[in-house]
Amino acid sequence: MKVLQIYNLHRFRGGADNATLATVEVLKENQLEVRSFVYSSKDLTPGIAGKLRAFTSALYGRGACKALTRVLEDFHPDVVHVHKVYPLISPWVLPECSRRNIPVVMSVYDFQLTCPVGTHSRNNSVCKQCLRGKEYWGVIRNCRDSLPESIAYATRHAVTRFFQLYKNHVDRFIVPTRFTGQWLVDYLGVSQGSVVTIPYMFELANVPADAGAGDYVGYAGRFAAEKGIATLAQAAREVDIPFQLAGDAPSLDLVEDIANVKVVVKSTEEELNDFYRKARMLIVPSTWFETFPLVIGEAMSHGIPVIASRIGGLPEIIENGVTGLLFEPGNAKDLASKVQILWDDPDLCRKMGQASYEKILRTSHRDIFFAKLKAVYDDLNEFG
């Protein structure tokens, strides 16, 4: 089978990039003939010139469409698998596939298909104002904190929605959680039958860690408002328990004066794996509709239980009382109480950690991920 992968890598590699590249890798491992049509945001020049190019390319990527046409005519793929297309490719490549009767699969990592900025979050709270043709709210609220950028994002989203580029030209949407799929049905208007849930793929540790012996409560990820850093900071003040935070920390104002919180740098995969394995638990205190944060699966693949907000797709991943605990989003006291429960009960940590490891083995092993994705490809080729 010949599969064309289409994706735009971010300037700074993130979770969607990692999931995309892992998909390409596992297909090649299983002897599918794979070609990648890839652009990178690193190619954008700094300043206004780069931003202008990003806007025009996202609005209608004429150059990308022409380049893709040449690839389609040369490669003749059996299926096209699309990932992130902004800002240098644009969803206008999708009709090029439809014109040639090539089935299209699209992996959905966030809410970029229904929100101009992809998060449905504003000022550390859930936002649904731009749904159903109201992209202008992205300008009114200046969601990019730059009026020209907010106008650009809202415009490209409105154009895509008006021409229904996703709904009309994507045959299957691959989502990591049922929550994400139902969101597309409710707000993008796609059919229930066009959505397939396939959890992300994770590499499992050979032996799960001893979570009960962990030295600290861990957090890994961006220090962004919607990630619930403020809630975490408040919870840390409530307990006499060590916290370690690993990730992108451009501003440490929220945590720099908390005695039991330490910010650490983990720049390599090996360092991050070591960080997980030495933690007693991982905290995911998000206040936005998370689809499937990779850090959850990464921690679980090492046998570490997770305490997460009861929001978005998180309750599907974390089985409350089995693989971890759930708390009310934004409620620091509730989070602190859940942290204290696990910290005081090492045996419970071990039990939940083992259950976490077994769940990832059962749902997100490489072989399972490939089999499910290949079944989608086969279905489209057989009945498309």
Q: How far apart are CA 35 and CA 72, in angstroms?
A: 10
Q: Is residue 180 part of a domain?
A: yes
344 domain-assigned? yes
State the pLDDT at residue 57: 87
The number of domains in the chain is 2
Q: Are residues 232 and 330 in the same domain?
A: yes
Query: Do 40 and 82 belong together in one domain?
Result: yes
In a domain, 36, yes or no: yes
Taking the C-alpha atoms of residue 2 and residue 210, their distance in angstroms, rounded to an integer, is 43
Do 225 and 337 fall into the same domain? yes
| pLDDT of the residue at 252 | 58
pLDDT at 266 over 80: no
Q: Is residue 316 assigned to a domain?
A: yes
**Could you read off the pLDDT of 42-94 as tens digits, one per residue?**
888 888 888 888 888 888 888 999 999 999 999 999 999 999 999 999 999 99
Residues 61 and 155 in one domain: yes
pLDDT at 104 over 70: yes
Considering the domain architecture, whether residues 356 and 369 belong to the same structural domain is answered as no
Domain assignment present for 56: yes
| Largest Cα span, the chain | 63
Q: Are residues 268 and 184 in the same domain?
A: no
Nearest to 284 by CA among 321, 241, 322, 338: 338
pLDDT at site 58: 85
Q: Which domain holds residue 320?
A: 211-363
**CATH number of the structural domain spanning residue 353:** 3.40.50.2000
- Same-domain check for residues 158 and 71: yes
Q: Are 94 and 175 within one domain?
A: yes
The verdict on 151 and 249 lying in the same domain is no
Could you give the CA distance from residue 116 to residue 135 in angstroms, rounded to a whole number? 7
Closest CA to 144 of 128, 164, 121, 166: 121
158-205: pLDDT as tens digits: 999 999 999 999 999 999 999 999 999 999 999 999 999 999 999 999
* CA neighbor of 54 nearest in space, from 154, 149, 162: 149
Torsion (CA) 228, 15, 142, 184 in degrees, nearest 10: -100
379 with 345, same domain: the answer is no
Q: β-pairing, 279-284 with 261-264?
A: unpaired
pLDDT at position 382 over 90: no
Which residues, in sequence order, are CB contacts of 125 under 8 Å at separation 6+? 287
pLDDT mean across residues, the chain: 92
Note whether residue 319 is domain-resident. yes
184 and 253 in a common domain: no
Percent of the chain residues topping a pLDDT of 90: 75
Identify whether residues 312 and 220 lie together within a single domain.
yes
Confidence class of residue 249 from pLDDT cuts 50, 70 and 90? Answer: low
**34 within domain boundaries:** yes
Residue 206 lies in a domain: no
pTM of the predicted model, to two decimals?
A: 0.91
